[in-house]
Each structure stands twice: as C-alpha cells, then as structure tokens.
Amino acid sequence: MLLRDIITKEMYWLQPNDTLGRAVSLFRESKIDTLPVLDEDLRLYGVFTRSSLYDALLAGASLQDSIAPRVIRDPVTVPAEISYEELTHMVRESPVGTAPVVDAERRVVGILTKQDMVMAALRQADLLNAQLRATLNAMHNGLIAVDGSERITVVNAGAERIFGICAADCVGRPLSSVFPGLDLGSVLVHKTPRVGFKYIFGTAVTVVNAAPITNSGLAEGAVAVFQDLTELEQIAKELETVRALNETLHTVLNIIYDGLVVVDQQGRITLINRQFREFLQRSPEELLGRHVTEVLPTSRLHIVARTGVPEISDIQNIMGRHFIVTRLPIVKDGQVVGAVGKVTLPKLEEIQELARRLSSLRHKVAYYQEKTARPGMAAYTFDSIITRSPKMTALKEEALRVAGTLSTVLIEGESGTGKELFAHAIHLASPRRHGPFIKINCAAIPEGLLESELFGYAPGAFTGAHKNGKPGRFELANGGTIFLDEVGDMPLALQAKVLRVLQDREFERVGSTKTVRVDVRIVAATNRNLEEAVARGAFREDLYWRLNVIALKIPPLRERPEDIEVLVAAFIEKFNRILKTNVQGITDQALEILRMHSWPGNVRELENAIERACNFAWEGYIEPRHLPPYLTAMSRSNGAVAHDAAGPPAGRYREKLASAERDIILSALAAAGGNKTKAARLLNISRSRLYEKMKRLHIPT
C-alpha cells in the first residue's frame, strides 16, 4: 500500500494574509482540524489549526483579523515518499491527528489524518482476511482453529471434506463437542507445537500438526492441520501397483532374447530393450527420443506407426547382417499411437557357452556360501596376501607389527590392490581377533542411507523404520574392528559424526538423543588422495589426521611385476577349486602377455583375467587364446606375438581399434582418480555409456 492511496486528495489551504473568517469557512467545508498555509510559491509556510482559531476568537479577535499571528511555522509533516511501515510507526508515536504531506520541494500534495490510516488499515485487514480464507479453503489438507477457550473459530473446506462436517455447524462450539479426543489444550498451555500425532474421526485416519497462536507472548488460540492417511494409503497402493507393473514390464523386456524397439506415432524411439542396445552398442541416452531411421536407416517401423498395417516376418538388413523382423502397430482407443518391432537375434553358440558357465557359477556360489557362512568375521590372514615383492613383504611386516596395537589404520592404494585383505589380516592378527569384523563400503550406499547404516536408528525415526529400531555398523562392531572402505567418498555431513566416534567412542542413533558408547578399532581404506581432498575442501582435515595415525600404502601391481607369476599360480589353484576345473598352469607365452600389461585394475583385474582363462581352458595349460581379447590384442600391438607376413588377418583392425579405445578409457579413469562420473565427463560421454564400454572391453568396474 502506498501513501498516495491513503491521503485525502481533496485539499483545502490558506495563505498567510487570509482572515480568520476564511479559516472558519474552510474548516466548516473541509471538516478537518488542520489546514496547511502556503506561501506565494505554494510551498508549505505553516499550518493553522482549529485550536488556533478558537484561541484567537476567545482572545477577542474579529473574523476580519489575519491568521498570520496564529500560524504554526514548524508543523509536523509527512514526506510523500515514506513507506507504509514507517508511516504506521510515525502515526503511533505522534500526538498530532492531521499533518500535511509534502514532496521534496515542500510543496503540499495532500493531507493525512489518523482517520485515513484507520480506514486504510481496515481495508487492508479485509483484503488479508479474504486472502487468508481463500488460501485456507484452497488447501487440500484439513485445518481448524480454536480460541483461547478451545472454541472453534475456523473450519476450512479440507476439514469439511475429510471429516464430512459443515463449518457453519462447528464454528463457535467447544472443540471437544465436535472433535472428541483431539487434545489442543497442551498446545495452548505450554505454547509449543505438537507434531505428527494420529487422530481418528469416524473412518478418517489423520496425522495432525498443531501449533499455538500467540500474540505478545500470550496464547490466544491454536491451529491444527490434518493430513488424510486414508487418502495417502490409497495413493501409495496405486503407485506401488504401477511401480510393480513397470518393474515387471522392464524385467520381461530385458529377459527376452530378441531385440525389441518401440516408437511413437512420429517414429521417435520411446523404449528399447537391453539385448537390442547391446547389439547396437549404444547407450539409452543415444537412442531414446531419436527418430528410428537415425538409428536403423532401413527400418519401416515409423511407416507401421503411421499406417497401422502390420508387417510379419520381414527380412531387414541391420549393420550388414540380415535378420527376421516383425512390426506391429500399437492401438489405443481405436487410434494407432505407435509401433513395436521385434528383431530375432540368434546366438546359439553363446547359449552353449552359457550352459558351461552356468555349471561354473554353481560351483562358485557354493564356494562363496561357504566363505560367508560366518557373517561379521574376518576371512583372510597375512598368509592370504601372496607376494614375492620386497615392497609388499616389508609392508606385510609393518602391518603385522601395528596389528597388535589399538591404533587407527589408514590403508591407501589404487582399486584392486588388496586393501580389504590387509584389513582382514590386521583384525585377525590383533587382540580383537575374537570380536566381530564389520565392514561397510562408504561409496556403495546412498548418502541418505549411509548415516543410518553407520549409526543405526531409533524406533520410528522415519517412515518405514523398524518399530524396534536398528543398530548400526559401529554398534555391531563393538569389541572388534570396523572397516570403513572407500572412506574418501564419505559425505561431508557424516564426517563430523565419524570424527566424534574416533575422538570420544560415542554417538547417537538417527532419531535418538540417547548416547551409545562403543569400543571399536577403526581401519579405513581409500583409493583417493585424501590430502588433495582436504585441500579442495572435500574431506575434513581433522578427520584425516585422526584416520592417518598409521598409514599403509599398498603399491600397485605394475610396481611389483615379480608378483604376477605367484599370483597367477594362486588364482589357478583357487578357481580350480571353485569351478571344478583342472588347469595345470600357464604357458610362458601367456605369462609374458600378463607381464607386459600395465594392470590399471591391479590384482583384481589379474584375478578376473585368470578366472576367465580357467573357464575357457578348463584343463591343461592357459594359453594366449584363453586370455581376455584386450590383453592379447595389446600384446600383438606391442610385438609380443609375431605378425603374419602376409599382413593382419581379418578382424585384427577391429581388435586394434578396441585396444586403442581401451587405452583411452584407462587413461581417463587414471586422470579422474578412478571416478567414473569424472572420467565420462573427460570422454564427453554419458556415465551409462562408459559402463557399457568398460564391460565390452573387459575393464574392471
């Protein structure tokens, strides 16, 4: 509201040489108590009040006398540019009932009276009241308000709908007579909100938030907002049904061995299943939303979507090969809204290989079931860490010495170097060997769940929480060791709470104020440079120094090539036991290929390569042909395998291209410190596309 909307526009004024008679006339006509007196330039000279007039007449002055002796020369004025809030304060503080409004040059632009202010305030109050009522009735939730005597003053449309009541029948009645059992008295007495309590009215089940209405520190009433749980539960059931149907559809589409692609009426791809994406070697981001002919130039799916005429068992050339294709229109309410195409992808040779791998996987599952039969226990000792390297031997001796203490240990090293093995071994060599060994991967758990996983939660801490609460990993590790893997990926918000556990050995569960004390030893591991993370502000410096009491840095496999042969022998023995194979060893040529590789995935990558080789060799010796193709392709490009004098055979160009692509991806991963999102950004591709390429090129993820 502006000042010009408040002031009296019809203005009466005097000049210094006017008579008392003229003043009487203007007072009678204007019905105001103060008249501005203007000079020849129409600037404010002063004011003449009714009191001044009465004083003059009582003193014996005649109506022909001048008003000049009675003019107040330094009156209270109001600037035309003043805000409504400042004006309100001025009116409250000033004893004057009427004042001229002047501009920057002291020209009078109007008269302000307290009556103007009162009328403006009433208009504003009416507007606010109308807006408030409209807002309350537009709310989906129910709302009621009571006064200090717990009599109902407001019932909105939402409350009428939820409870099946009429506002006119409720207003003015005691709260207890309309809503029995609804306690707002405690809110009024204590002047504090009451949040999240359940209230049942007939068949309506609601959750209520109540708050006091205070004025100058006094509770003059209370307001309660009702959320209809009955409605929410119905919506949740419907959403759950839709989600289940979507999951079922997604599962069905992706277990079908044929390729499926769906387009809308304009021929744009809206869905494509995993088998067809893998065949095209394209990510969903590269396919969805594009016209089908941009992906499959020979496709007629957009024509079927336009005409509605099905095409059964047609032959189509896709990427230089011929496939049997069926195209069917999608009809909704009698109208063609799109089309679906099915491409038969015969791969009988792969089915035979999958059958043999299934047998291997059964043995593998049995092996790991045996290994995990005792949860919460460490599985590896220092004897499990196989090495011939002087660096690793010295590191094992150092780790063995510190295992006997209770100090915190920070294990650093690239992905796949064996950080978890060291953590297991340190626990089993420590005085806590008979206590639990609890591990948690800080990078594998979503940030919203990590706090409750680490510290547990109290009963009812959040929607869906177990009614008895749940202990966290720190509580489960009491009396033993907790292994914080990938600690460098821990969110900053949780680092302060972990620091407190390190310092005081105490914490509170999520949603609880009760302090839990624990006796745990902390072993942390990371493949990140924590010092750089501290410098970037991504990791707390105080937590870093608390973790970095004893630092063990595991060298990568490329710095200890002498370990490759002994590790290969150990892995062959392991997978013979798991897969029930009978591999005798590895040829010198295959071993030389392994020695020439840089192993960005370290021991884990080597283990995967040997597992793959054991699956293909099955018995006898591992030869170069049994190793992953990317290893043999790289060895050929480096001269490890002799070239045919007649030139590279068919398919070798594709292998070289794959090798070059693999080297580029590995370089990007190294530059990004193993972070897949950053690596994808460096390569200017999506993260899902990067994972697809890594899987195709046998790069450990």
The DSSP call for residue 226 is E
CATH of the domain at 481: 3.40.50.300
Whole-number pLDDT of residue 437: 94
β-strands 259-264, 218-228 pairing: unpaired
Q: Is there a contact between 270 and 262 (Cβ–Cβ < 8 Å)? A: yes
User: What is the reported pTM?
Assistant: 0.44
The answer to the question of residue 246 being in a domain is: no
Six-digit token string for 503: 């310092």
CATH of the domain at 109: 3.10.580.10
Six-digit token string for 54: 């009465």
Length of the chain: 701
CATH of the domain at 663: 1.10.10.60
The answer to the question of residue 620 being in a domain is: yes
Whole-number pLDDT of residue 364: 57
**397 and 463 inside one domain:** yes
**613 and 700 inside one domain:** no
Q: Which domain holds residue 592?
A: 348-373+560-641
**519 and 452 inside one domain:** yes
**474 and 531 inside one domain:** yes
CATH of the domain at 578: 1.10.8.60
The SS3 assignment for 514 reads coil
Could you tell me the CA-to-CA distances from 266 to 164, 276, 288, 331 in Å, in that order?
A: 48, 21, 13, 14
Instruction: Give dist(CA 490, CA 497) in Å, integer.
Output: 11
Residue of 344, 306, 338, 339 lying closest to 325 (CA atoms): 344
Whole-number pLDDT of residue 347: 57
Residues of the chain with pLDDT under 70: 1-10, 84, 91-97, 114-118, 120-121, 124-125, 254-255, 346-376, 463-465, 634-657
Around Cβ 55, how many Cβ atoms within 10 Å? 12
The answer to the question of residue 174 being in a domain is: yes
Whole-number pLDDT of residue 558: 92
DSSP codes, 119-141 = HHHHHHHHHHHHHHHHHHHH-SS
Q: At what angle do helices 629-637 and 588-596 cross, to 10 degrees?
A: 80
The answer to the question of residue 69 being in a domain is: yes
**386 and 481 inside one domain:** yes
The answer to the question of residue 129 being in a domain is: no
Q: Strand pairing partners for 317?
A: 322
Q: Is there a contact between 329 and 265 (Cβ–Cβ < 8 Å)? A: no
Q: Which residues contact 130 (CB under 8 A, 6 or more apart)?
A: none
Domains identified in the chain, total number: 6
Instruction: Give dist(CA 534, CA 82) in Å, integer.
Output: 52
CATH of the domain at 334: 3.30.450.20
**222 and 196 inside one domain:** yes
- Mean pLDDT computed over every residue of the chain: 84
Q: Is there a contact between 410 and 547 (Cβ–Cβ < 8 Å)? A: yes
Instruction: Give dist(CA 325, CA 591) in Å, integer.
Output: 46
Instruction: Give dist(CA 474, CA 480) in Å, integer.
Output: 10
The answer to the question of residue 455 being in a domain is: yes
pLDDT in tens, 32-91: 888 999 988 888 899 998 888 899 999 889 999 999 999 998 888 888 777 767 777 776
**543 and 606 inside one domain:** no
Instruction: Give dist(CA 103, CA 643) in Å, integer.
Output: 96
**539 and 411 inside one domain:** yes
**70 and 20 inside one domain:** yes
Whole-number pLDDT of residue 602: 92
**402 and 545 inside one domain:** yes
The answer to the question of residue 681 being in a domain is: yes
Secondary structure of 620-636 as H, E, C letters: EEECHHHCCHHHHHHHH
Single-letter amino acid, residue 572: I
**433 and 287 inside one domain:** no
**612 and 661 inside one domain:** no
Q: Is there a contact between 16 and 71 (Cβ–Cβ < 8 Å)? A: yes
Domain boundary among 94, 121, 148: 121
Whole-number pLDDT of residue 366: 52
Whole-number pLDDT of residue 348: 42
Q: Is there a contact between 9 and 62 (Cβ–Cβ < 8 Å)? A: no
The answer to the question of residue 134 being in a domain is: no
